[in-house]
Structure 1
């Protein structure tokens, strides 16, 4: 952790790696547990200084009821919801208040998180997403995204049609036909950012299905000023909602392996109930040195 001064206000910033048990893996997130003195411009300045894809800020809360108001900022703008920063914040609070349930009031509504300590003493957090939804991607928006990615329609998995899915944010979901296609990701940063801004997408969720219980994922995030996210909880929730919508949920627990091609492997577990539009996303978070 460290303390920084923003326009005369000292702010303690915690740094966690989410969706991993190894500080060298996962997705780094900044966490500010007391952001009440900060305005939007100051929170954005802190997030830009931290430099991670997102930093979470608790702007109000009550420890007795374990209910907190939570906002998220990338280095460039406020983000409506961020799964990995939510998990990091929940773990940070559980380490201080003890495990149990907590509620976060976010720009996308109430997000309930359950935290528990496993036999090795590690804290795991399970967030319940906002209700998910998914629709087929339109030809024009898909073609623009594929052109920016340098992908062709022939590169895609025909059994997993491209969709735009919501799990707190909008994400374009595109399934690669092979692991090699997913691994070869060199895209036009500015072009993809322009496409995403025009459609209001937060990330592009690129996946490859190894089997019905294991997906590999990569998430370009140029609209946040980041080439790629090594773990994306909101996109994981959106993927669960997408699979529910297209009728391809065979079992409740699905593993997502992300960040491997970046050298920051991450493990996310999603629990999808065919009768519930919400998706539960589980992972660990650990303090970064």
Structure 2
């Protein structure tokens, strides 16, 4: 991997480690929010007994832990670049008394597994952040058995995901940051329909499909929404380490205003949209 890509990877590792306490705090709400995307992925790979499955960018453990509960005689390996996030996932597996789960801190572009090892590979909301998506796809396919399935979920268009695009837009405005290149690692890097599908086809996967999956994030108030976002959002985490109190307050009030304009002031149902892409080796 080139040095510039290694720098991106190392920065991301630090960011996710720093955000891990927030993800642990809001884990129940977030996992419920992300479950529909994971369910489509699980439906596609059809976990059965005697299967060995690899989950990439496991974060705090889903959809890997749900898959593990379905693998009565099978096994799943959870991997992530962030050891702190993966520690949360491991603790959850223990609390659920799941005996068929292993964890491995590693880089997706240098997976420490032999060729043709896994019956299926899953990756929920990781591809957008990989420094080299094509290399990541090839590496996942390398460790996948012939006939095995690879499936991933990525975030859709910004206008369909105001729950996060509102934050990034406001921060960009207040700090007068340059526009992020569309091909740079980030939340909406894979939002264009067909992009990841093309990468999968280019990597020689067969019967590749793409499916949009919508869901909603529910909060009593926009203030409650903000409380979660400031704990889990890497852009907010970064800004709040260096910005003065006036800038922080301005970012908060502007973000809340956008959310309230779109979704009201109480009993918010904030729309979200993702793409699930899969194929066979």
TM-score (norm 1): 0.23
Instruction: Provide TM-score, normalisation by structure 2.
Output: 0.23
Q: Which has the higher strand share?
A: 1
Structure with the bigger percentage of helix? 2
